[in-house]
Amino acid sequence: MPAVLKIAHAWPGRTIFTRFVPPKRAADALGTWQRYYQRWGEFTGERLDPRYVALLPEFLELVPPAVVIDKHFYSPFAQPQLQKFLQDRQIDSLVVTGGETDVCVLAAVLDAIDLGYRVVLASDALCSVSDKAHDDLLQLFNERFQQQAEVASSDVILDAWR
């Protein structure tokens, strides 16, 4: 979290927080997401404490100028407003932070690559419940996606911005 905050504070006007918002009920979900929410019913909107969907106060204090885009799937690009937001501002490069490296971050990065964005992953501003999966994915991005994605520490990224 400290590295995420450091990056967000450097450019709050260029910060987009994407927030995973589950459906109210499993029956409201699409396709296999219904099965997912039937299995993990405590993560549906009707049962989940709203605090677990809210931005942390440290992030919320940056909004505005930072922007919040809610998403209902792993990738924020599944929500058309993110792509529109980026296109309207002629943004072609993304610095990615957050969690989980092997779920939402992975989905976002692959979609961003498919859409032609330059992607920089802030290695110390990513997390996962699986250290092995996290480490394996950073290695994968370094080795297999080196033309489309870069991995760097938050300090290296911030130094490049200066």
The β-bridge relationship of strands 16-20 and 93-99 is unpaired
Complete domains list, the chain, with CATH: 2-161 (3.40.50.850)
Closest CA to 77 of 119, 41, 44: 119
Average pLDDT over residues 79-89: 95
Q: With 90 as the cut, is the pLDDT of residue 28 above it?
A: yes
Task: Kindly state the tokens that stand for 119.
Answer: 């992607």
What pLDDT was estimated at residue 162?
81
C-alpha 149/C-alpha 89 separation (Å) is 21
Interacting residues of 49 by C-beta distance below 8 A, sequence separation 6+: none
Average pLDDT over residues 29-47: 95
What pLDDT was estimated at residue 48?
94
Query: 79: pLDDT confidence band, cut at 50, 70 and 90?
Result: confident
Q: With 90 as the cut, is the pLDDT of residue 121 above it?
A: yes
Q: With 90 as the cut, is the pLDDT of residue 144 above it?
A: yes
65 exposed, middle or buried (CB, 10 Å; 0-12, 13-18, 19+)? exposed
**Orientation angle between helical segments 2-10 and 154-161, nearest 10 degrees:** 10
